[in-house]
Chain A
């Protein structure tokens, strides 16, 4: 479904990604963990080309997407993204946040878009909040609207960039429940998170990244309890405590 080959990325003198290679099968949920600054977010942004890699290849559903002649706008419609700071459109209500992409990018008729948005908001448990502005919603509710907004574009895969790390503890559960349900339904997902519960429950594989490289890859059981690499061991021992 998603194949990443030898991705390199520099920000000025900073070498952020050093030859990343991995693949995600259809219906898999991959969790990426690693210390801050290890390049996890940049890797996610490379996959939907919000950041353009310096070299290397990215394939989505067999299409070489970072090749000349492929429109970035088209690529980004294929993969939905959920951000750490939600980034809901401040000037639009919950339902307008979901319909904007449908009406303006997919040119869907308005009533059809509203109907679809209502269905998605109900799916993330926010049917009653469709007319609320982002500032009137809790962090957990905002993040669920953001998930609905991404799902509205019918993406082939979803990227989550630390979706719960800006949330107050009492709201983390509701967002993780929505994500777990998505994974169960067979959505292809790449999730950067430090939520061990989610990783154990929903992840098919875990990648541990450090200093721009994938250090270790394996099941939750292996990474959390029997890591092979010393660096994985020391990182996991810090976050499991």
Chain B
């Protein structure tokens, strides 16, 4: 093999990174040229106004974080509900028949007490059925409709039914975002909870754990570690989605972008500030989460990163 080909092969990852970097820089230069062109960057505008935008983004961070935390509660509850296979009406009817027969076979207690037990178990199965279906419907509606529509819907709801709060844009926005992220997090939680092997629950039950305690001490600690990456993803997505709140009159990042006097003239500068702020926050977050993940990693749980010792290269056939 020619020496130069080997030289390239052994260093392909550097060329790869360099090429990616060149493409990104090229794209940025192109956009810069397109928007700013010969007039030059208005540095004075940026230095004058960036604190304004930094301050405004706090509203987004605040709304996102509160909505995300509320979403965790919604997501866990609905997700757990949905790990149980949704009972069909036929199965529901079947379990009622079994219950009725068992109560009748049980000779202890009076006739009226037995009747009461049948009615109670009927109610219990019925409630379980209805709650599960509501959970399914909730997730489908949230996933299937645009966030923008959901925010406007929440706003209209407040205007019609709770007019005294209708001017509280941030409150309405946080509620809408929480419900939205709750729907998505429900699916994340469901996937995480279902990934934990059923043998783990069986083992916990076998030493006397109740269903709730098995969830708390065996399933959740494992599931949470598995779903940190998709939850981070969801937080970042929600953070960006929080920019929709400006339609409710919230003074957030985008409201400055849209309303600021310099919008027509200094469009590149405004976008540059917003981009740097958002990227700064999201990239920092993802680094923090990665460090957190490494800290709490447990051998044998989840996908482990393969790190080769320095100088070791993956062998290649014929290489």
A residues contacting B by CB (< 8 A) are: 48, 50, 68, 72-74, 76-77, 80-81, 83, 85, 87-91, 100-101, 104-105, 133-136, 146, 149-150, 152-153
User: Could you name 24 residue pairs across A and B whose Cβ atoms are closer than 8 Å?
Assistant: A73-B209, A76-B205, A76-B206, A76-B207, A77-B207, A80-B207, A81-B206, A83-B202, A87-B202, A87-B203, A90-B298, A90-B301, A91-B225, A101-B207, A101-B208, A101-B209, A104-B209, A105-B207, A105-B208, A133-B299, A134-B300, A135-B301, A136-B299, A150-B207
Bound complex: CA A74 to CA B202 (Å): 15
**What's the least CB distance linking B198 to chain A, in Å?**
9
**What's the least CB distance linking A135 to chain B, in Å?**
2
In the complex formed, the residue of B with least CB distance to A137 is B300
A-contact bits for B199-235, CB 8 A (1 contact / 0 none): 1101111111110010001100110010000000000
Chain B contact surface mostly: helix
List 13 extra interface pairs beyond A87-B199, A91-B221, CB under 8 A: A73-B208, A74-B208, A76-B207, A76-B208, A89-B218, A90-B200, A90-B222, A101-B209, A105-B209, A133-B298, A135-B298, A150-B206, A153-B207
The 8 A-B residue pairs whose C-beta atoms are closest, nearest first, are: A135-B300, A87-B203, A87-B199, A77-B208, A101-B207, A81-B206, A135-B299, A105-B208
A153 touches B299 (CB 8 A): no
- A104-B213, A134-B300 known; A68 vs B106 contact (CB < 8 Å): yes
**What's the least CB distance linking B140 to chain A, in Å?**
29
B206 touches A48 (CB 8 A): yes
Number of interface residues of B (CB under 8 A): 23
Bound complex: CA A155 to CA B206 (Å): 11
Bound complex: CA A57 to CA B59 (Å): 64
Residues of B within 8 A of A77 (CB): 207-208
- The listed residue (B202, B213, B221) touching A105 by CB distance below 8 A is B213
Residues of A within 8 A of B203 (CB): 81, 83, 87-89, 146, 149
Residues of A within 8 A of B221 (CB): 91
Residues of A within 8 A of B207 (CB): 76-77, 80, 100-101, 105, 149-150, 152-153
Bound complex: CA A68 to CA B113 (Å): 14
**What's the least CB distance linking A191 to chain B, in Å?**
16
**What's the least CB distance linking A219 to chain B, in Å?**
30
Residues of A within 8 A of B210 (CB): 73
Residues of B within 8 A of A153 (CB): 207-208
Bound complex: CA A91 to CA B299 (Å): 8
Bound complex: CA A74 to CA B205 (Å): 10
Residues of A within 8 A of B222 (CB): 90-91
Bound complex: CA A90 to CA B197 (Å): 10
- The residue among A68, A73, A91, A153 with the most chain B CB atoms within 10 A of its own CB is A91
**What's the least CB distance linking A53 to chain B, in Å?**
12
**What's the least CB distance linking A94 to chain B, in Å?**
12
Bound complex: CA A80 to CA B298 (Å): 27
Bound complex: CA A152 to CA B209 (Å): 14
Residues of B within 8 A of A50 (CB): 202, 205-206
Bound complex: CA A111 to CA B273 (Å): 56
Residues of A within 8 A of B213 (CB): 104-105
B300 touches A90 (CB 8 A): yes
- The residue among B202, B204, B207 with the most chain A CB atoms within 10 A of its own CB is B207
Bound complex: CA A100 to CA B213 (Å): 11
Bound complex: CA A68 to CA B203 (Å): 23
**What's the least CB distance linking B202 to chain A, in Å?**
6
